[in-house]
């Protein structure tokens, strides 16, 4: 009953088949298993039900139940006179997804769109078919249901820059109240800072209730290098910290759980899941959006919108749907025989933060390794009964640091790199390499030899990428996945910044805090770079081109800008240029990617976007 095979199969059963199917497996393993299932059944009942009898017309149709869309649906349906329909292509959540530790598992299921990039011969070279895997949530809550739960906002300079690009109302002082509106901070030492934190919102933010020696070494090592231990969502972002996460201590707090579960009984709020929107309906003469077409259970539905259609489908799906509906670059749509409604730079300005998870250290520490945890009955029992222990840590992520390599001694500056600290590595768990997508050659050469060794990964991240990608259509068929041209390192400055981030991670490993744990850089080279001197600058440049991957921070493809910006798709009130009754409210509107994991900034965009809608329809006074 206590074998690793049993525990793993039990968790996978819950993941793939749901709560009820797995109930016969419980037996008498642990009292906690029954408690876990009971909570799971209750959890399923709390999710908004699928509305079978849809209305013909709603005031607002929101496409996408992700980080932004969940907020928009919540805030608009606060107005009892408005009927709101939320359309989600994916399925309902599974309670097993709320276990923080194996976060990377959920991307291996049908809760992910399973996007892959277009090979370009310049990056993702040691991934299968030279394609990076671009994970994207296809489930209630969107990517917030399958991500690593980091709660980061960016800093004042990020949003003041949005404002200065011609977007009034989007400066830091304008958006900070919306970060506060959502947040429910449960970290005692931060809760009293009411300027930068709030305890009254729906989105719980906490520290994990479990911490390893490696996590302590991370923040102590930062102190040795001269950096403060900080609240990176406070006055300054530069420094080291334990990870603030979107968790209700021990469990994931997805956008659906935070914003949709509490409104499941609103009479004016309907949800349709497993529903793929295929087209926005736009009058070609008046250029007014008046509804959507979507498919559910292979049946076509047409639903009209009295007031607005709002796209919150994310930086890949929102531009895809705009282009399928005739809004996009003239030449591209002409190639696909799509009738043009409005010529706009849809799909351009695609941004993401490239990360390098192959900077691996070996260590002797009282650290958790995912595979070991899955075979440890006491760890599972501790989680199932009390929501604590190693299973409560988000995807093995325990720490985060924000650094500016060009001015390292200035605490009041915009960081250009991040170190995202995992108390594990690619060989720690049989699903990690599948999640990342590296070739068998790379895994077998570099990571199989250390499968039973304790390890950690200080992941270097480029926060201000200058490279820009593009989303295009493969065809006019809405079932065809769009083409993702990510263009990592198209601008060579990004590669040099990544090199500086890597060097910072290497220096961190040399601090006394990590040397006390016998930290040692794993020195088996990436096969394609083995002709270069290991750990030289040229080696790391090569390793980055071979093994850098996405961190899911997709943004910018429906750029916000004023009427003089030739690249803008939406105006500062998030209305699509040239089409009435149509807005985009998600990360695709970001003109510049913030120095942050984009889940919480997307929720902020949802909060502010919903207020813009209310203002424009006279429900709240116009902001200054």
pLDDT tens column, 257-277: 999 999 999 999 999 999 999
Q: Is the pLDDT of residue 102 over 50?
A: yes
Q: Token pair for residue 138?
A: 């296809």
What percent of the chain shows pLDDT beyond 90? 84
| Measured CA distances, 479 to 92, 315, 317, 620 (Å) | 20, 17, 11, 39
Q: Is the pLDDT of residue 93 over 70?
A: yes
Question: Confidence band (pLDDT; 50, 70, 90) for 429?
Answer: confident
Angle between helices 537-547 and 492-509 (to 10 degrees): 110
Coil, helix or strand for 282?
strand
Q: Among the ranges 125-139, 381-395, 400-414, which has the highest mean pLDDT value?
A: 125-139
Domains 48-93+263-351+555-616 and 99-142+200-253+352-547 share a fold: no
CATH 3.40.50.2300 fits 99-142+200-253+352-547, yes or no: no
CA-CA distance, 473 to 471, in Å (whole number)?
A: 7
Tokens 């390098």 — which residue? 356
Which of 175-178's residues contact partners 24+ apart within 8 Å by CB, and which partners? 175/604, 175/608, 178/604, 178/607, 178/608, 178/611
pLDDT digits (tens, 9 = 90+) for 165-191: 999 999 999 999 999 999 999 999 999
CATH topology of domain 48-93+263-351+555-616: FAD/NAD(P)-binding domain (3.50.50)
Q: DSSP characters for 27-72?
A: TTS-HHHHHHHHHHHHHHHHSPPP-SS--SEEEEEEE--SHHHHHH
> Which residues form the catalytic set?
553, 597
CA-CA distance, 251 to 101, in Å (whole number)?
A: 9
Q: DSSP characters for 343-360?
A: E--TT-SBB---B-TT--
Terminus-to-terminus CA distance in the chain, angstroms?
63
- The strand ranges marked E within 364-425 are 397-403, 417-422
Q: Is 339 annotated as a binding residue?
A: no
Q: DSSP characters for 521-578?
A: E--PPPGGGTTSPTTSHHHHHHHHHHH-B--S--B-TT-B--TT-TT-SB-TT-BBTT
Question: Confidence band (pLDDT; 50, 70, 90) for 13?
Answer: low
CA-CA distance, 137 to 596, in Å (whole number)?
A: 19
Q: Is the pLDDT of residue 529 over 70?
A: yes
Q: Is the pLDDT of residue 46 over 60?
A: yes
Taking Cα atoms as reference points, which of 7, 3, 5, 13 lies closest to residue 32? 7
Q: Cα–Cα–Cα angle for 17, 23, 29, nearest 5°?
A: 120
Q: Cα–Cα–Cα angle for 556, 559, 563, nearest 5°?
A: 165
* Annotated domain spans of the chain: 4-44, 48-93+263-351+555-616, 99-142+200-253+352-547
Cβ distance 448 to 360 under 8 Å? Answer: no
pLDDT digits (tens, 9 = 90+) for 287-319: 999 999 999 999 999 999 999 999 999 999 999
Q: What predicted TM-score, i.e. pTM, was given to this entire model? A: 0.94
Taking Cα atoms as reference points, which of 520, 611, 595 lies closest to residue 553? 595
Question: Confidence band (pLDDT; 50, 70, 90) for 44?
Answer: low
CA torsion, ordered 518, 524, 526, 532, to nearest 10 deg: 100
Q: Is 197 annotated as a binding residue?
A: no
Q: Is 113 annotated as a binding residue?
A: no
pLDDT digits (tens, 9 = 90+) for 224-252: 999 999 999 999 999 999 999 999 989 99
Question: Confidence band (pLDDT; 50, 70, 90) for 498?
Answer: very high
Q: Is 139 annotated as a binding residue?
A: yes
CA-CA distance, 352 to 356, in Å (whole number)?
A: 13
What percent of the chain shows pLDDT beyond 70? 90
Question: Confidence band (pLDDT; 50, 70, 90) for 24?
Answer: very low
pLDDT digits (tens, 9 = 90+) for 316-372: 999 999 999 999 999 999 999 999 999 999 999 999 999 999 999 999 876 666 556
CA torsion, ordered 460, 463, 464, 469, to nearest 10 deg: 80
């Amino acid at each position: 009953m206590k074998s690793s095979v049993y525990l793993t199969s039990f968790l996978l059963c819950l993941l793939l088949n749901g709560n009820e199917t797995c109930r016969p497996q419980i037996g008498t393993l642990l009292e906690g298993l029954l408690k876990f299932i009971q909570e799971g059944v209750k959890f399923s009942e709390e999710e908004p039900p699928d509305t079978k009898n849809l209305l013909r017309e709603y005031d607002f149709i929101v496409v996408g139940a992700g980080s932004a869309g969940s907020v928009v649906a919540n805030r608009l349906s606060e107005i009892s006179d408005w009927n709101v329909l939320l359309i989600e292509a994916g399925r309902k959540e599974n309670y097993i997804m709320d276990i923080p530790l194996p976060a990377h598992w959920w991307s291996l299921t049908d809760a992910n769109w399973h996007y892959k990039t277009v090979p370009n011969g310049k990056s993702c070279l040691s991934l299968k078919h030279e394609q990076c895997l671009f994970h994207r949530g296809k489930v209630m809550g969107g990517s917030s249901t399958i991500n690593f739960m980091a709660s980061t906002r960016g800093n004042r300079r990020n949003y003041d820059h949005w404002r200065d690009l011609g977007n009034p109302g989007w400066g830091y002082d304008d958006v900070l109240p919306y970060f506060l509106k959502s947040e429910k901070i449960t970290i005692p030492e931060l809760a009293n800072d009411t300027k930068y934190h709030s305890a009254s919102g729906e989105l719980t933010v906490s520290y994990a209730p479990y911490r390893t020696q490696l996590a302590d070494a991370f923040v102590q090592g930062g102190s040795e290098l001269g950096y403060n231990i900080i609240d990176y969502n406070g006055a300054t972002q530069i420094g080291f910290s334990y990870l603030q996460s979107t968790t209700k201590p021990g469990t994931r707090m997805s956008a659906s759980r935070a914003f949709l579960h509490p409104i499941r009984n609103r009479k004016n709020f309907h949800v349709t899941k497993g529903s793929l929107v295929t087209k926005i309906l736009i009058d070609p003469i008046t250029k007014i959006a008046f509804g959507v077409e979507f498919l559910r259970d292979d049946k076509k539905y047409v639903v009209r919108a009295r007031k607005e259609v709002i796209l919150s489908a994310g930086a890949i799906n929102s531009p895809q749907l705009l282009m399928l509906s005739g809004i996009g670059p003239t030449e591209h749509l002409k190639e696909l025989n799509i009738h043009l409604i409005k010529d706009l730079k849809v799909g351009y300005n695609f941004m993401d933060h490239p990360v390098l998870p192959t900077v691996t250290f070996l260590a002797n520490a009282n650290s958790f390794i995912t595979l070991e945890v899955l075979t440890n009955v006491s760890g599972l029992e501790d989680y199932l009964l009390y929501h604590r222990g190693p299973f409560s840590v988000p995807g093995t992520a325990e720490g985060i640091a924000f650094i500016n390599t060009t001015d390292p001694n200035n605490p009041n500056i915009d960081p250009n790199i991040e170190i995202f600290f995992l108390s594990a590595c690619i060989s720690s768990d049989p699903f990690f390499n599948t999640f990342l997508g590296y070739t068998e050659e790379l895994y077998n050469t570099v990571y199989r030899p250390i499968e039973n060794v304790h390890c950690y990964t200080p992941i270097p991240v480029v926060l201000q990428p200058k490279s820009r990608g593009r989303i295009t259509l493969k065809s006019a068929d809405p079932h065809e996945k769009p083409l993702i041209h990510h263009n990592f390192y198209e601008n060579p400055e990004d590669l040099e910044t990544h090199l500086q981030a890597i060097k910072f991670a290497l220096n961190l490993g040399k601090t006394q805090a990590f040397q006390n744990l016998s930290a040692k850089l794993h020195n088996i080279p990436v096969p394609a770079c083995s002709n270069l001197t290991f750990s030289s600058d040229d080696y790391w440049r090569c390793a980055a081109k071979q093994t850098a991957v996405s961190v899911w921070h997709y943004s910018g493809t429906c750029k916000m800008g004023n009427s003089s910006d030739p690249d803008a798709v939406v105006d500062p009130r998030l209305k699509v240029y040239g089409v009435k009754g149509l807005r985009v409210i998600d990360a695709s509107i970001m003109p510049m990617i913030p120095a942050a994991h984009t889940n919480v900034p997307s929720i902020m965009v949802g909060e502010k976007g919903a207020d813009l809608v209310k203002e424009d329809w006279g429900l709240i006074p116009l902001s200054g």
